[in-house]
Structure 1
Amino acid sequence: MDNQYWVQAAPFRALAGRLIELSGLPWPILASYAGVQPAVLQHLLYGRDGRTSGRIPSDCARRLLELDESQLVRLGRVHRGVAR
């Protein structure tokens, strides 16, 4: 695949980790909400065969950037059964 379809993974790994920490959502729920294949987010966060990913598909990166933190926090509260 051409490099124009890939972006550096590190900033998006940090973003995904922050969104998970902020919202309290498990990564599969975050992947679903973002419209990213769970395997992509799993490999981004945890690597594969002991190696972290150096790149991520640009469409997945864009979807992570489009997430709204406040909506994720609310979704996390609902997911945990906590009222406001």
Structure 2
Amino acid sequence: MNDEIDEADTWAEPHLFRCWAAMLVRTSGLHWRIVAAMAGISPTAMSHLLWGRSGRPISRLHVATATALMDLAPEDIQQAGHTRVPASRTRGLLDGLHHLGWTEPQLATWLTRSDMRLATSRAAFYCTRLTAARVQACYDYLTSSATPRAATPDTAA
């Protein structure tokens, strides 16, 4: 019987959380991947929550995902550009993208110059929470998609 209770306690009804996630994206004006990174949930979980899975809304949401999402308030997102967080993890993600072959011009599609300067500025011990979320979202997206090509059709010899 305890297993049944424990199993039921790990899932939540997704409707309220879907509305909350959509409101956070809409009011912040940020890409949904950045909001997911700020909440500390996977982009896959956020995508399934917002748009469903295989064309159908999800029927349940893991309680850890629901809790992390509800812990993110609109005020947190508004202050993210001013809230400082340690930069080491973010710098590591940027280094990882460069190591995988992504160049600054390619990354400029997703990141600001200030975000990218973090990779070369070893003296910066902190970055903003918004920078950390943008870099996390960019890393998640680029490492889950095709790897960069050495030459584009315009530059191929």
TM-score normalized by the length of structure 2: 0.46
Structure 1 residue corresponding to 2:59, chosen from 35, 40, 54 = 54
Which residue is equivalent to 1:24?
29
CA distance in 1, matches of 2:77, 2:52: 24
Secondary structure of 1:2's aligned partner: helix
Distance (whole Å) between structure 2 residues aligned to residue 29 and residue 55 of structure 1:
23
Partner of 1:4 in structure 2?
A: 9
**Aligned partners of 2:73, 2:49: CA distance in 1, in Å?**
20
Higher helix share: 1
- Residue in structure 2 matched with residue 36 of structure 1 by the alignment: 41
Deviation per CA, 1:58-80: give whole Å up to 9, x if none.
Answer: 0110111111211213448xxxx
Runs of 4+ in 1 over 3 A off after TM superposition: none
65 and 16 in structure 1: CA distance in 2 versus 1, 3 angstrom threshold: same
Aligned-pair CA distance for 1:17:
0.3
**Are 1:70 and 2:78 an aligned pair?**
no
Higher relative contact order (CA 8 A, sep 6+): 1
Structure with bigger gyration radius: 2
- For structure 1, list consecutive stretches of 5 or more residues without a partner in the other structure: none
**CA deviation after TM superposition for structure 1 residue 54, in Å:** 1.4
For 1:8, give the aligned amino acid. Answer: E
Quote the RMSD (CA, aligned, Å).
1.9
Paired residues in the alignment total 77
1:27-84 deviations in Å (ceiling 9; x for gaps): 11111110001100100000111100111100110111111211213448xxxx8xxx
Structure 1 letter corresponding to 2:62? P
Identity of aligned residues (%): 34
The unaligned stretches of length 5 or more in structure 2 are 1-5, 82-111, 113-157
